[in-house]
Structure 1
Amino acid sequence: MINPRFNIIKCFFLISLLFSSFTLAQKKFVLVLDAGHGGSDFGANRSYSDVGKVNEKDVTLQITLKLGKLLEKNKDIKVIFTRTVDEYPSLTSRTNLANRSKADLFISIHCNASGPTPYGTETFVQGPDQNRTNLEVAKEENDVSFLNAEDRQTFSRYNPSAPESIIALKIQQSKYLEASLAIGSFVEDNFANKNKRLSRGVKQKDLHVLRLNAMPSILVETGFISNNDEAHYLISDEGQNEIARSVYDAIISYKNLKGNVMAVTAPVEPPKPVEIPSKNDFRIMLMSTPIKYNEDDPALKGLKYILTLKENGLYKYYYSTTNMTSIRDNNIKTAKDAGFRNAFSVGFIPNQTLGSGYYRIELLVSKDKLNSNSYILTALKDVDRNKDKGLFYYTYGKFRSLEQAVEVQNDLEKKGIKNTVIEKVLNN
């Protein structure tokens, strides 16, 4: 005989289940759209002779409004904008708005900038940044937090490199990471397949505008304002409509996937073998030339983390350094995408001392002799001067290993002596 109490419990359970299903069915999908920058924060910007100044804050707002217009046609989607005019909402207020709205998804629209050559799209999801060569991306976005008093208070004690911050980030964001990766991959796939654009992929970065969000969140870099072709594409109605449509289609795909009974998760893959660091450091050779270029010269095509070594009168330019094979391969691809089609990897033995010869720092090459009161000569002792073919060469120090020379070079830069070159001198 069935216990009557069991039947009552069962009825309550069924009623509760039906009510929950009805509530879920009625709940709209809440989406927060964030047009990056705004107001006094122009974001990335470049000027072109035919169209004038192109500001990131204007492009992001135009794309976001077009995307919102597409989404608002869906009756089961509620769109919330962090801004609809040229104003600067603090990073904190953007996050608070999304959290108060109990949003299902947060999307921040941005534009990239570098040298004139790099191009393509990339999408970022929140995560502790483990690769020091990528910290500049986070820095460029996070710098705007100092525009607003509220942000200064919120983020002043946050150190993204501190172990406790990284642990907290991992715990807080783990449950949103897979969903963020899913929507991010939809966006980048659409850019590549529908718009036929170069996709730089989905990447993890520690960005304040994503860090405190209690929902899946992505930041979409829609293209490089610093690239002439992409800048014109980004300000055109055609380009903005294509970008908005691609992001819209990605949102719908994600929403449909999220609506399934199964949670949004990345496909289960067999565990990958742990990559073992190499004994060598890998640097990517970009070019070898008798011409010396400063770090911001267009010839370097916007690439950062350049090590310049002078040897036998030639300046050799190396991009980035790593002891991981996978990162090395990515660095080669980055260099080739930037325009260095013949880039290749060169292995360096860490802390290797020269059997003969030494490294020194080339401080300056000039047609004119430095005045004894010049900053270089007053800031440093034992600066050597040599004249060759009408040029004065000022050099400093003797070091047995490349690492020692790099350390001194970094110290010189802190003193304001920049654009120095490490020269390898072999004994005759």
Structure 2
Amino acid sequence: MHNVNFKIILSFLLILSINFIFSQKKFTIVLDAGHGGTDHGANRTYDDIGRIAEKDVTLAITLKVGAMLEKNKDFKVIYTRKIDEYPSLSDRTNLANRSKADLFISIHCNSSKKPTAYGTETFVQGPDQNDTNLEVAKRENDVIFLDEKDKQTFGSYDASSPESLIALKLQQSKYLESSLLLGGLVENNFVNKDKRSSRGVFQKNLHVLRMNAMPSVLIETGFINHPEESHYLASEKGQDEIAESIYKAVIDYKKAIDRKSGYIASTKKPEPEKPVEVALKNDFRILLLSSPTKYNDGDPALKGLNYILPIKENGQYKYYYGVTNLASVRDINIKTAKDAGFRNAYAVGFMPNQKLSNGYYTIEVYTGDKLNGNSFILQTLKDVDRNKESGVFYYTYGKVQTLEDAVKLQKDLEAKGIKNTVIQKVSK
């Protein structure tokens, strides 16, 4: 009898565990319809269709996106609002963080003093890249003055403070690439599916994104002050197309994230096998920029991107992003780099394990003033070479024939505590 009861209890616990595991596989998305309630957002009145308010358009599109996502059992959708009300910006971000959301999407409409401005834009959180889109930042950030709670939450943030910029850079680095991936997919759909004009993906310091602990985007679906675009935004057809483009971007985003993590939902029925993508002969890295300046990890010049490999050649530091031998991933990496601000980025092919016939790779371990014999580098490494050019000392270590061996040597040095090194290609 006791044995039977134990088996029953064990089976019950097993069922609970399975249900818990399956429930954990829900991909949680917070959909934020911009503005609302007393905050009308951008608005304009036209003779034929009357007044168009941003808060109404964003709510309509958000509910349509949510309805599409809710049909998919893999998603859990949370709304910051489903009616005409105004949740404070801190309420919106707190909801997303409490929900441990995987994604935050804030939907807005744009406006400009220029009546000719039109097109879509998607923003991700990060330091302002330039002085463009200041109208967007001012309009979206000034909403905090509508609510006392927001004044308290955001009032201590000072964009000119080193502490605030450090915190922003840490957050940006953690979620930037995923946010850029989603932003790029959204804008691609607007162009390729809806045949609209995209103004691009930009980094901007926006309060509704800054305090989110997950990848986040703010989508400006079009300009309310533009006569043709405003009519499109207000129409059922336009809202349906915009919602479907955002929905499909989310689907493709999750597929990309799942591929990256190797996750396969055990609750899904096996899909028909698709042709496996054939690997290319070369490995491809994305060249971001060439500069005589050496940038360490986390430098603002690298715009928050990770997986950067600097290679020094002929006195120039070349900064490469990512590595892959799949064409689809290569193209995604190019798009991510361009959306991050490297508009001239392009792919460079490297033959795997190719030996240099007229040179070698070495590791530049230090540049600057002359090191004394008690320095950590000279105490840790033997046979370090030293050169002096234009008053600057360059210390290098090791000689290998392939880039792969150079990367391995670089990682070995990092394990010994010698960081911020650079692979140098030397010609004989």
- TM-score where L is the length of structure 2: 0.57
The answer to whether the aligner puts 1:269 opposite 2:268 as a matched pair is no
What letter matches 1:272 in structure 2?
Answer: L
| Number of the residue aligned with 2:131 | 132
Q: Deviation per CA, 1:140-159, whole angstroms, max 9, x where unpaired? A: 10000010111000111212
Q: 1:47 to 1:275 in 2, by over 3 A?
A: farther
8 Å contact kept, 2:129–2:203: no
Following TM superposition, by how much is the alpha carbon of 1:77 offset from its aligned partner in structure 2, in angstroms?
0.4
Following TM superposition, by how much is the alpha carbon of 1:173 offset from its aligned partner in structure 2, in angstroms?
2.3
| Number of the residue aligned with 1:117 | 116
The answer to whether the aligner puts 1:41 opposite 2:31 as a matched pair is no
8 Å contact kept, 2:122–2:183: yes
8 Å contact kept, 1:128–1:160: no
Matches within 5 A, 1:56-95: 56-95=54-93
What letter matches 2:165 in structure 1?
Answer: I
Following TM superposition, by how much is the alpha carbon of 1:20 offset from its aligned partner in structure 2, in angstroms?
11
Q: 1:22 to 1:37 in 2, by over 3 A?
A: closer
Matches within 5 A, 1:101-116: 101-114=99-112, 115-116=114-115
CA distance in 1, matches of 2:33, 2:229: 18
Q: 1:193 to 1:91 in 2, by over 3 A?
A: same
What letter matches 2:194 in structure 1?
Answer: N
CA distance in 2, matches of 1:175, 1:101: 18
What letter matches 1:66 in structure 2?
Answer: K
The answer to whether the aligner puts 1:234 opposite 2:233 as a matched pair is yes
CA distance in 2, matches of 1:275, 1:155: 39
What letter matches 1:273 in structure 2?
Answer: S
CA distance in 2, matches of 1:84, 1:22: 28
Q: 1:261 to 1:134 in 2, by over 3 A?
A: closer
Matches within 5 A, 1:150-165: 150-165=149-164
8 Å contact kept, 2:110–2:136: no
What letter matches 1:67 in structure 2?
Answer: V
| Number of the residue aligned with 2:248 | 249
Instruction: Give secondary structure in 2 for the equivalent of 1:122.
Output: strand
Q: 1:150 to 1:22 in 2, by over 3 A?
A: closer
CA distance in 1, matches of 2:167, 2:159: 10
Instruction: Give secondary structure in 2 for the equivalent of 1:260.
Output: helix
CA distance in 2, matches of 1:219, 1:107: 6
Q: 1:22 to 1:150 in 2, by over 3 A?
A: closer
CA distance in 2, matches of 1:98, 1:80: 8
Q: Deviation per CA, 1:185-225, whole angstroms, max 9, x where unpaired? A: 00000000000000111100000000000000000000000
Following TM superposition, by how much is the alpha carbon of 1:76 offset from its aligned partner in structure 2, in angstroms?
1.2
Instruction: Give secondary structure in 2 for the equivalent of 1:30.
Output: strand
| Number of the residue aligned with 1:53 | 51
Q: 1:180 to 1:275 in 2, by over 3 A?
A: farther
CA distance in 2, matches of 1:259, 1:138: 32
Following TM superposition, by how much is the alpha carbon of 1:275 offset from its aligned partner in structure 2, in angstroms?
9.8
Q: 1:189 to 1:148 in 2, by over 3 A?
A: same
8 Å contact kept, 1:92–1:209: yes
8 Å contact kept, 2:30–2:79: yes
Q: 1:183 to 1:133 in 2, by over 3 A?
A: closer
8 Å contact kept, 1:34–1:109: yes
| Number of the residue aligned with 2:426 | none
Q: Which runs of 5+ in 1 are unaligned?
A: 1-18, 277-326, 331-428
CA distance in 2, matches of 1:58, 1:203: 25
Aligned residues: 259
Instruction: Give secondary structure in 1 for the equivalent of 2:30.
Output: strand
Matches within 5 A, 1:13-28: 23=21, 26-28=24-26
Matches within 5 A, 1:202-221: 202-221=201-220
Following TM superposition, by how much is the alpha carbon of 1:260 offset from its aligned partner in structure 2, in angstroms?
2.0
Q: 1:230 to 1:24 in 2, by over 3 A?
A: same
Matches within 5 A, 1:398-413: none
Instruction: Give secondary structure in 2 for the equivalent of 1:37.
Output: coil
Q: 1:84 to 1:22 in 2, by over 3 A?
A: closer
| Number of the residue aligned with 2:375 | none
| Number of the residue aligned with 2:189 | 190
Q: 1:73 to 1:51 in 2, by over 3 A?
A: same
- TM-score where L is the length of structure 1: 0.57
Instruction: Give secondary structure in 1 for the equivalent of 2:286.
Output: coil
| Number of the residue aligned with 2:27 | 29
| Number of the residue aligned with 2:350 | none
CA distance in 2, matches of 1:271, 1:51: 47
Q: 1:24 to 1:164 in 2, by over 3 A?
A: farther
Q: 1:21 to 1:206 in 2, by over 3 A?
A: farther
CA distance in 2, matches of 1:82, 1:175: 24
Structure 1 stretch displaced more, 159-168 or 33-42: 159-168
Q: 1:172 to 1:35 in 2, by over 3 A?
A: same
Instruction: Give secondary structure in 1 for the equivalent of 2:83.
Output: coil
> Root-mean-square deviation (CA), in Å?
2.4
CA distance in 2, matches of 1:24, 1:169: 34
Q: Deviation per CA, 1:249-292, whole angstroms, max 9, x where unpaired? A: 0000001111124489xx9512412499xxxxxxxxxxxxxxxx
Following TM superposition, by how much is the alpha carbon of 1:27 offset from its aligned partner in structure 2, in angstroms?
1.8
Q: Deviation per CA, 1:130-183, whole angstroms, max 9, x where unpaired? A: 423443321110000010111000111212233322221001221100000000
Q: 1:87 to 1:272 in 2, by over 3 A?
A: same
CA distance in 1, matches of 2:292, 2:236: 45
Q: Which runs of 5+ in 2 are unaligned?
A: 1-16, 264-283, 294-340, 345-428
Q: 1:42 to 1:190 in 2, by over 3 A?
A: same
